[in-house]
Amino acid sequence: MTESVAMYDLRIDRSIYQTYIDRVLNYSDEVELDLNYVQVHSAGFGRKPATLKRQISKLYSIDILDCKYISFYCMEKGSKDWLHGANAYIGLRIQPEQNSMTECNFYISRSKYNNASSMVEGIANILIPILKPTYAIAYKRKIRYLPSWYAAGGIAGLPLPHKCTPDQKHERERIEAFSFASGSHQLYNHGILRDIYLDNFLTHHQLDADVLGQALRDWITSSPDHGVLEHYCQDIYRWSVPEDKIQPVTDVMWKAGRLLTRDEAEEYVYQLGLAERPACRQPGWHLKDPRPVPGDPSTW
């Protein structure tokens, strides 16, 4: 299982861009990070090892100021001889608006962090305040399901639809819904959530959305069973949901319309006027199929 973070709709301040690069370059010294292998794969760079500072400088020379999203994940291994002598691994995936996907893999031989969770949190604490996403999530996902593809709304590791179990079918539907919602329409900026995770980083776009007659921020703070909402940085708040409360909270978000199916997301786009409604999509078209029963995201 990997620890992962995905950030969407970045609002990088161009005036502090160089500070941002320097901050990332200094990160390895701060956490006593030894990187014995760095790999980059993209149309521009090919696939080859390089030093951290050289590769980071290259990586962030692309159009990161206009990124669609950034995701990263960390995976631990107990064996010291795993992949180039590494005992941990960080995958960083970037998709600029105009460039092809770039992925950078860091193989770590030593760090002051003793687990993947604290390593990912350390990286997030550096990047989120600088990148200022309007929406971000922290999640766990098995490596066979490709956590970086999941961040982008890609399906990997799941059976074909006709071979899926009910939970797997629901998972495919949730990913397809987010893939549509997070495209050019960016429905997360209109109060729509991807799912409920242990840690959700929200801005007013989500916190002001209606949940059964009250704003999401008020619903969260109305009961300890709804998790904890705390200020994280700038206009970003961290909503932490205990693992045993994820399913009840998920059920409420479905009922409140904060989670949508693929068809519901498309209908919402027409209602918001973000796209022209075609003749085959008259009001009510999306109600022909019943809503799926929510699955348990903690099992993925």
pLDDT digits 0-9 by tens, 43-85: 444 444 444 455 555 555 544 555 667 777 777 665 444 444 5
* CB distance 266 to 246 below 8 Å: no
- Co-location of 137 and 192 in the same domain: no
Identify the DSSP state of 190.
G
Q: What is the pLDDT of residues 157-178, one digit of tens each?
A: 888 888 888 888 888 888 888 8
Report d(CA 186, CA 180) in Å as an integer.
9
Q: Is residue 151 part of a domain?
A: no
Domain end call among 92, 116, 145: 145
Domain end call among 115, 145, 175: 145
The tokens describing 120, both together, are 């990912």
Q: Is the pLDDT of residue 297 over 70?
A: no
- Predicted model pTM: 0.81
**Structural domains counted in the chain:** 2
The tokens describing 235, both together, are 């206009």
Identify the DSSP state of 198.
S
Report d(CA 286, CA 260) in Å as an integer.
11
The parent domain of residue 29 ranges over 2-145
Q: Cα separations (Å) of 215 from 204, 206, 211, 237, 253?
A: 10, 9, 6, 14, 12
Q: Is residue 152 part of a domain?
A: no
Report d(CA 125, CA 190) in Å as an integer.
25
Report d(CA 219, CA 5) in Å as an integer.
24
The tokens describing 221, both together, are 């703070």
- Co-location of 14 and 44 in the same domain: yes
- Co-location of 75 and 186 in the same domain: no
- Co-location of 191 and 121 in the same domain: no
Domain end call among 105, 124, 145: 145
- Co-location of 139 and 175 in the same domain: no
